[in-house]
């Protein structure tokens, strides 16, 4: 459903949400290492997000990527809008062109409630809110360095 690009971008932004600030920036290299994402590929994504104003960046020594308070009020869907061409949150998992309540595909009734919740999470929850959930619920953005695997 989501491309690698989107998954990488979302994880990187949530990382920044929980760790960066105006005075604490992270280079793409650091992010790529922490999240186990190919660095040049991630750098491209960060560049796009920065250009679109979803995240912030500063060049030069001590520079890097970070989130401002403004950035934190944006939604995950803003990331998807930058990275993906079409709205992946509205595509049918069975590939039916116009799957919906009126013309459901064979798994529509199973998938629809989940998709509704996912859209809520990505469209209405702010990046800040989701990042806090990550912090408090003990969910992970990477499994790097975890020893209980």
- Give the binding range for DNA (CB under 7 A) out of 33-41, 97-105, 114-122, 128-136: 33-41
Residues 6+ apart with CB under 8 A from 70: none
Task: Judge residue 70's burial from the number of C-beta atoms within 10 Å of its C-beta, 0-12 exposed, 13-18 middle, 19 or more buried.
Answer: exposed
- Alpha-carbon distance 50 to 122, whole Å? 19
Q: Which of 18, 19, 41, 91 binds DNA (CB under 7 A)?
A: 41
Applying the rule CB under 7 A, the residues between 42 and 101 that interact with DNA are: 43-44, 46-47, 50-51, 57-65, 85
- Alpha-carbon distance 23 to 5, whole Å? 27
Count of residues interacting with its own copies (CB under 8 A) = 44
51 binds, among DNA, its own copies, none (CB under 5 to 8 A by kind): DNA
Residue 100 tokens read as 């919906």
What phi and psi, each to the nearest 5 degrees, are found at residue 19?
-125, -25
> What b-and-e string marks burial along 5-30, b requiring 16 or more CB atoms within 10 Å of the CB?
bbebbbbbbbbbbebbeeeebbbbee
Applying the rule CB under 8 A, the residues between 66 and 125 that interact with its own copies are: 93-99, 102-111, 113-114, 117-118, 121
Count of residues interacting with DNA (CB under 7 A) = 29
Binding site for DNA (CB under 7 A): 3-5, 8, 25-29, 38-41, 43-44, 46-47, 50-51, 57-65, 85
Binding site for its own copies (CB under 8 A): 1-2, 4, 7-8, 10-11, 14, 36, 93-99, 102-111, 113-114, 117-118, 121, 130, 133-134, 137-143, 146, 148-149
């Amino acid at each position: 459903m989501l491309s690698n690009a989107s998954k990488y971008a979302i994880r990187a932004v949530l990382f920044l949400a929980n760790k960066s600030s105006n005075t604490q920036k992270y280079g793409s290299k650091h992010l790529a290492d922490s999240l186990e994402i190919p660095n040049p590929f991630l750098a491209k994504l960060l560049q796009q997000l920065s250009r679109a104003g979803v995240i912030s960046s500063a060049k030069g020594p001590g520079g890097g990527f970070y989130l401002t308070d403004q950035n934190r009020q944006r939604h995950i869907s803003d990331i998807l809008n930058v990275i993906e061409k079409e709205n992946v949150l509205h595509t049918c998992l069975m590939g039916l062109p116009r799957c919906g309540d009126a013309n459901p595909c064979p798994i529509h009734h199973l998938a629809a409630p989940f998709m509704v919740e996912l859209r809520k999470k990505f469209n209405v929850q702010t990046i800040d809110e989701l990042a806090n959930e990550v912090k408090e619920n003990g969910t992970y953005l990477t499994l790097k360095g975890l020893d209980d695997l």
